[in-house]
Structure 1
Amino acid sequence: MGLREFGYLFLSILFSVAGQIFLKLGAIKLAKISASSIIGRIIEIFLTPELIIGLGCYGLGAIAYILLLTKVDLSMAAPAVSLVYVFSVLLGYFLFKETIPISRGLGLGFIIFGVILVTWR
């Protein structure tokens, strides 16, 4: 994977993780809103800026991923993008004070090791 491909991978991961963080922030805000109907709830989703930003970040991450797929095999790109899970869990810990049980920590270690194995030349 060259520098350009790494850049696409980095942007895809960055925007995807940002999308997850903004969706969580929006969900926290949305939980405080008590719309009485499903239609009201859907309208609130579209009126919550954090959720719109989160969806936009996901879109940008998808564009970067598509550009990555023009340069590398799916069998390399898909596992590499799984690093989104690792960074999301870590940011959940630091930003939202979520716990990371030992089993989840081990799982993250396996993901990192797997990405190294798949992308190693």
Structure 2
Amino acid sequence: MKYIPFILFTVMTNAAAQLMLKHGMMTLGPLTFAGVNPLFKILQIVFSPWIFAGLTVFVVSMASHLYVLSKVELSFAYPFLSLAYVAVAVFAYFIFREDLNAYRIAGIALICLGTVLIAQSGRDTPETEVAQGSSQSKGSVVQ
């Protein structure tokens, strides 16, 4: 449970990156390659300020995720990334005026419920069990 803040940091940076990429693509307008060198167009996209910022934040998010994966089980950490869907849906509603209908709200509620259940399963992580087991076995050796 002590790694939850790092996991949530990963989730929020992932969501922030998505929002930046969306904003960047909206400022670029419709994507067309007609009469333009595709390589030039890709470089134009990647180096537009919002796209570049979004990609940079994605790198930060991945670095954070790698740190988390070095500390907790993948089956515990990875489902938390679904909270990025929740954050993106809510922020997209407020920032981009995207639709947040009853089906999406129900889906968000199910994602949150599932994440809470997964978080509850992480109360006794293998690190804790190993530490408790090793201290118990040391105690029994001394006796």
TM over 0.5: yes
The question of whether the paired residues in 2 share the 8 Å contact of 1:30 and 1:44 is answered with: no
Task: Between 40-49 and 75-84, report the one with greater CA deviation.
Answer: 40-49
Look at both structures and tell me which one has the larger radius of gyration over its CA atoms.
Answer: 2
Aligned to 1:78: 78
Q: TM-score, normalised by structure 2?
A: 0.77
Is 2:101 aligned against 1:96? no
Aligned partners of 1:34 and 1:67: how far apart in 2?
Answer: 38
Q: Distance in 2 between matches of 1:33 and 1:62?
A: 27
Unaligned runs of 5+ in 2: 124-143
Q: How does 1:1-121 map to 2 (within 5 A)?
A: 1-2=1-2, 5-31=3-29, 36-37=35-36, 38-120=38-120, 121=123
* One-letter code aligned to 1:44: Q
1:105 Cα deviation (Å)?
A: 1.1
CA offsets per residue over residues 91-111 of structure 1, 9 Å max, x none? 000000101121111111110
Task: Quote the Cα distance in structure 1 between the aligned partners of 2:32 and 2:68.
Answer: 41
Between the two proteins, what is the percent identity of the paired residues? 28
Distance across 1 between alignment mates of 2:77 and 2:104? 23
Alignment RMSD (CA, Å)? 1.6
CA apart distance, 1:7? 2.2
Give the alignment's TM-score, normalised by structure 1.
Answer: 0.90
Q: How far, CA to CA, are the matches of 2:59 and 2:100 in structure 1?
A: 28
Q: Give CA-to-partner distance per residue, 1:42-89, whole Å, 9 cap, x none.
A: 121123010000000011001111111111111110111210000000
Deviations 1:13-64 (A, max 9, x none): 1211110111011100111676632233212112301000000001100111
Gaps of 5+ in 1: none
Paired positions, count? 119
